[in-house]
Amino acid sequence: MSIEWGESALAAVGADDGREWLRATVKGFLDEGMSSRALLDDLERLRDLVPTETDEDKVLDVMDLLVGWCAPGARLAPPANTH
């Protein structure tokens, strides 16, 4: 499964609460059973699509939450699900 990042997703990331929207979206895909690896690949594609460095930073922040480069309580996936 691969996420198709359309114009509405790009607009959502670009909004003031874009980081939270993306975090919740990624968490939803994890809860549905999508692997962390697949999500990282999709987030990397999204990173190439966003128009500003600020939006790219939002994507990178959520990638950090996914792989665990954050406080343990902020992780989106348990450590065993990151490889």
pLDDT, position 83? 46
Sequence-ordered list of residues with C-beta below 8 angstroms from that of 66, at least 6 positions apart, any chain: 26, 36, 39, 40, 43, 75, 76, 77, 82
Kindly report the number of other CB atoms within 10 A of residue 12's CB atom. 16
Domain boundaries in the chain? 7-77
The pTM (predicted TM-score) of the whole model is 0.90
Do 39 and 30 contact (CB within 8 A), yes or no?
yes
pLDDT, position 80? 57
* 78: exposed, middle or buried (Cβ count in 10 Å: 0-12, 13-18, 19+): exposed
Instruction: Encode pLDDT of 16-32 as tens digits.
Output: 999 999 999 999 999 99
